[in-house]
């Protein structure tokens, strides 16, 4: 495993170093964009979700989703009464239209840099299920095309089958949380529209934490009217979303692709409201960066305010990022907090998931 991880680090650092010297956007796009048309015959085999190896995290084993901040251990997931279905962001760096779910290098990156720093926000209350899936190439998002849409359809097909397996594994009568980031949010938003809204499967939804995507207020109203935006910390069967940027952030190529004039949903993870009043850093219970060796809770880490569908972060403490993560930060652009949208508000997320899970269980209890 260490050898695979080292190779991933070397490749990422090499890409990042060259990109920083020659100009970020064009080079990264060129490296990531497939050179041949989408060909279903070349798509990696679909994952078998009856096989534990097709999951980044499962509640009945030790894995990346068990990590926790110092002083805040997770629950025994085997006895937790609420479940989490977490779909990770893009973790594959390469030019294939769809990534393999059996590539050890990709899987190591997924476990350490996705499941291990995002899904862990929910292990204070819940049992975590995190499927691997044949994630689409990043160019499907920053350079839209019919081939990219086909690659995303492959990825979504896996996520849908994984959710069906999730339901069978846990028992469909248990409350559950949806959680995701970036590409994972694109997948879960579609799942929300097609498989949960207006259907029996949606009855057990506690809340959907869909960060770093393009969830819009109008889109929810049109396609999931029974699953509205959450407007308070204790709302249930509702949707939460945010995209964190600095007030002076200048959108990059990645940001401008697939333009949508509709206002994005912005839930402030410090207040759990939709208004633009904002909250100071003193309301932040703590940023946590589990991708580093320092798992400390950092109180008052960042402020937050919703402005025109964007979560503006004006004050933020220095982030304890490792070398690979710093390269990613540079690639995303100054003031783009997309890579750390969970870490900045980690303890507020943890507390809120605990609250909503407790309330959902209380609703189920006989009176």
Q: Where are the domains of the chain?
A: 2-364
pLDDT at 173: 84
Question: CA-CA distance, 303 to 291, in Å (whole number)?
Answer: 22
Say if residues 306 and 318 touch (Cβ distance below 8 Å): no
Percentage of the residues of the chain whose pLDDT score is greater than 70? 87
Say if residues 239 and 224 touch (Cβ distance below 8 Å): yes
pLDDT digits (tens, 9 = 90+) for 23-71: 445 656 666 789 899 999 999 999 999 999 999 999 999 999 999 999 9
Question: CA-CA distance, 254 to 249, in Å (whole number)?
Answer: 13
Q: What is the mean pLDDT of residues 99-116?
A: 96
Question: CA-CA distance, 108 to 5, in Å (whole number)?
Answer: 6
Structure-model confidence comparison of residues 247 and 261, the more confident one: 247
Which of 205, 305, 203 is closest to 247 using CA atoms? 305
Q: Which two tokens stand for residue 357?
A: 């899970």
Tokens 């579609």 found at: 190
pLDDT at 259: 73
Say if residues 215 and 246 touch (Cβ distance below 8 Å): no
Which of 232, 183, 228 is closest to 208 using CA atoms? 228
CB contact burial 255-264 (16+ within 10 A = b; e otherwise): beeeeeeeeb
pLDDT beyond 80 at 256:
no
CA distances from 245 to 251, 315, 322, 352 (A): 10, 11, 20, 22
Q: What is the mean pLDDT of residues 336-349?
A: 96
Q: What is the dihedral of CA 44, 49, 51, 53, to 10 degrees?
A: 60
Residues comprising the chain, all counted: 367
Say if residues 107 and 132 touch (Cβ distance below 8 Å): yes
Percentage of the residues of the chain whose pLDDT score is greater than 90? 77
Question: CA-CA distance, 215 to 219, in Å (whole number)?
Answer: 7
Mean pLDDT of all residues in the chain?
90
């Amino acid at each position: 495993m260490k050898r695979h991880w080292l190779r991933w680090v070397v490749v990422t650092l090499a890409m990042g170093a060259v990109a920083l010297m020659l100009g970020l956007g064009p080079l990264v796009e060129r490296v990531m964009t497939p050179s041949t048309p989408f060909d279903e015959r070349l798509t990696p085999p679909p994952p078998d979700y009856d096989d534990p190896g097709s999951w980044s995290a499962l509640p009945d084993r030790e894995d990346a989703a068990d990590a926790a901040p110092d002083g805040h251990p997770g629950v025994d997931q085997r006895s937790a009464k609420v479940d989490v279905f977490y779909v990770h962001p893009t973790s594959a760096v390469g030019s294939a239209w769809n990534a393999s779910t059996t590539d050890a290098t990709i899987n190591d990156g997924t476990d350490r840099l996705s499941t291990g720093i995002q899904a862990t926000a929910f292990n204070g209350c819940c049992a975590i299920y995190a499927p691997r899936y044949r994630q689409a190439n990043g160019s499907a998002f920053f350079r839209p095309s019919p081939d990219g849409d086909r690659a995303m359809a492959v990825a979504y097909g896996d996520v849908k089958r994984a959710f069906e397996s999730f339901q069978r594994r846990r028992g469909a009568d248990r409350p559950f949380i949806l959680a995701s980031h970036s590409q994972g949010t694109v997948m879960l938003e579609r799942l929300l529209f097609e498989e949960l809204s207006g259907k029996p499967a949606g009855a057990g939804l506690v809340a959907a934490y869909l960060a770093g995507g393009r969830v819009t207020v109008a889109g929810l109203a049109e396609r999931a009217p029974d699953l509205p935006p959450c407007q308070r910390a204790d709302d249930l069967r509702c949707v939460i979303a945010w995209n964190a940027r600095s007030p002076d952030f200048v959108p990059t190529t990645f940001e401008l692709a697939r333009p949508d004039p509709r206002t994005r949903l912005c839930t402030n993870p410090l207040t759990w409201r939709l208004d633009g009043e904002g909250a100071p850093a003193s309301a932040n219970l703590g940023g946590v960066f589990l991708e580093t060796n320092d798992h400390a809770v950092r109180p008052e880490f960042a402020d937050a305010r919703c402005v025109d569908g964007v979560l503006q972060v004006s004050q933020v403490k220095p982030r304890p990022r490792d070398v690979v993560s710093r390269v990613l930060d540079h690639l995303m652009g100054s003031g783009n907090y997309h890579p750390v949208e969970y870490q900045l508000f980690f303890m507020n997320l943890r507390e809120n998931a605990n609250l909503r899970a407790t309330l959902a269980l209380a609703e189920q209890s006989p009176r």
